[in-house]
């Protein structure tokens, strides 16, 4: 009988301790801390409140510096791609680069001998793709479609 009484007393003590663990707190500060940890909204942390930040966007100057570092490390394709991206961000065009490097009036062979030509090579294609993406230039298919639509909109002239 003593063993049963001891086991019952031990079980009662454990139940009492467990029930205290599950009782809701009355401490308001503790409730606030729990609410903050459970909240997943934008007010949770200061860095999440401002939604118009442009994190992860590198500026043109930073891209140029990274391009120089990539060139020194022997990553010529990466260097060229970063440089082209920085030129696009600055609003450069193939025409402005030709003027900057004073290539106007030079033959293609002379341009290829210029020290900046390896870095420039391919920029005209990158610029053209960017213009297609923006919609400022039309591809051949889009141009044909536009011409057909304009033909349909023209009033029919009678003789």
pLDDT digits (tens, 9 = 90+) for 78-94: 999 999 999 999 999 99
Residue 40: exposure state from Cβ atoms within 10 A (0-12, 13-18, ≥19): exposed
Give the 3-state secondary structure of residue 5: helix
pLDDT digits (tens, 9 = 90+) for 22-66: 556 566 566 566 555 555 555 555 555 555 556 667 788 888 899
CB 79 within 8 A of CB 119: yes
Work out the angle at residue 68's Cα, subtended by the Cα atoms of residues 63 and 71, and round it to the nearest 5 degrees.
Answer: 120
Report CA-CA distances (Å) from 30 to 17, 34, 46, 103, 142.
Answer: 20, 6, 21, 71, 63
Assessment of whether the complete model's pTM goes beyond 0.95 = no
Which sequence spans correspond to the domains of the chain? 60-135
């Amino acid at each position: 009988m003593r063993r049963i009484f001891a086991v019952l007393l031990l079980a009662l003590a454990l139940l009492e301790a467990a029930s205290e663990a599950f009782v809701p707190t009355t401490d308001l500060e503790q409730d606030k801390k729990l609410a903050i940890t459970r909240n997943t909204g934008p007010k949770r942390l200061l860095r999440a409140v401002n939604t118009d930040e442009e994190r992860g966007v590198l500026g043109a100057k930073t891209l140029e510096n990274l391009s120089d570092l990539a060139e020194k490390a022997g990553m010529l394709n990466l260097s060229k791609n970063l440089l082209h991206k920085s030129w696009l961000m600055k609003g450069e065009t193939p025409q402005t680069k030709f003027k900057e490097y004073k290539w106007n009036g030079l033959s293609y062979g002379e341009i290829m001998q210029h020290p900046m030509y390896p870095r420039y090579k391919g920029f005209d294609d990158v610029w053209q793709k960017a213009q297609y993406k923006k919609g400022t230039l039309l591809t051949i298919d889009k141009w044909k479609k536009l011409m057909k639509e304009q033909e349909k909109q023209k009033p029919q002239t009678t003789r």
